[in-house]
Structure 1
Amino acid sequence: MRQEKLRPTLPAVIALGSNLGDREAILRAAVAEIGRTDGIIVDAVSSLYETDALKPEGIDLSAPAYLNAVLLVRSALQPHALLEALHVVEQAHDRVRVERWGDRTLDLDIITFAGLEQHDDTLTLPHPRAHERAFVLAPWHEIQPNAELPGHGPITPLLAATYESPRLYARWER
């Protein structure tokens, strides 16, 4: 029997962040690895944006700044399988989960997945804080300005309502 190849058709938005190590190289490598994952096609990549580290207590200027980006992908994987695939990429870059919102070599989050709204012990869709995070909204707006965040509406006014101001760090060169 012939095995069918996975056909990526479900749209998803993935946020990337790094504030340890060679941040730019890590993010660029992660994008390439995601693009090589069976069942995922990367359709668009934002520029890289730099933001101050955000901790549960607020902005932490003593911590290394983050580089952030957003990907638009199509996935044949269901949400939990996509999250597992992203965790494999994080682990390849020595991601350590010690403290909540701690410094990290690589953080990959599913922001939206095919317009689904769901919540369980492992995954909440859309991402529960995306609507208030300029470091997600600014790069997303760059590559999909008419996007909507399920349950929150168009991202343009959401971005305008944030207090952060991500700094353009580098344009993505193909």
Structure 2
Amino acid sequence: MARAVLALGANIGDPAHQIATAIEAIAGHPRISLLKQSALIVSEPWGKTDQNRFHNGAILIETTLSPLDLLDFCLVTEAQIGRVRIEKWGPRSIDIDIITYDDLTMETERLTLPHPYAHERDFVLEPLREIAPDVADWLLNQAGNKSA
């Protein structure tokens, strides 16, 4: 079993409900166990700042899915909740990002682990510190090692 951290966010529709729906879908997958869930925070948009504030949270899971299979499941879940990808960093009904997958580092066309911007985003780090402070520290150390 691998441990993974997923970050969830939304800023259109009913963000808290959409995040709860996504977590319910993730926890309902037969190859995923939900271990911990953070409280939701409200944060300013990142990247594209002329949009509504975001609701953000994180979950810690165990899974037997591979990283790419987990990504595919997250993308299907987003689509089922109504996510339409129109513009990078634009408004969204749901966003599910894989932040870490154990201590795996990988970079493919489809997935980079750990998430390449997680260490720069308080809306990821704050919920992550609540449920897995050791993972937050690891992320910051990984980022520091890359810049050294």
**What is the TM-score of this pair, normalised by structure 1?**
0.78
Between the aligned partners of 2:45 and 2:129, the Cα distance in structure 1 is 21
Q: Which one has a larger percent strand, Structure 1 or Structure 2?
A: 1
Structure 1 residue ranges without an equivalent (≥5)? 1-8, 156-174
Between the aligned partners of 2:136 and 2:7, the Cα distance in structure 1 is 15
**What is the TM-score of this pair, normalised by structure 2?**
0.91
- Asked if the contact 2:125/2:136 (under 8 Å) is kept, the reply is no
Q: Find the counterpart in structure 2 of residue 40 from structure 1.
A: 32
Counterpart AA for 2:120: E
Mapped pair 1:116 → 2:108: no
Q: Which one has a larger percent helix, Structure 1 or Structure 2?
A: 2
Q: Please tell me the root mean square deviation across aligned C-alpha atoms, in Å.
A: 1.7
Q: Find the counterpart in structure 2 of residue 127 from structure 1.
A: 115
Between the aligned partners of 2:54 and 2:69, the Cα distance in structure 1 is 26
SS in 2 for 1:147: helix
User: Where do 1:9-24 residues align within 5 Å?
Assistant: 9-24=1-16
Number of equivalenced pairs? 143
Give the C-alpha shift of residue 38 in structure 1: 2.0
Structure 2 residue ranges without an equivalent (≥5)? 144-148
Q: Find the counterpart in structure 2 of residue 28 from structure 1.
A: 20
SS in 2 for 1:20: coil
Runs of 4+ in structure 1 deviating by more than 4 angstroms, as ranges, are 148-151
Identity among equivalent positions (%) equals 36
Between the aligned partners of 1:123 and 1:92, the Cα distance in structure 2 is 21
Counterpart AA for 1:47: A
Larger Rg: 1 or 2? 1
Mapped pair 1:82 → 2:70: yes
Q: Find the counterpart in structure 2 of residue 51 from structure 1.
A: 43
SS in 1 for 2:96: strand
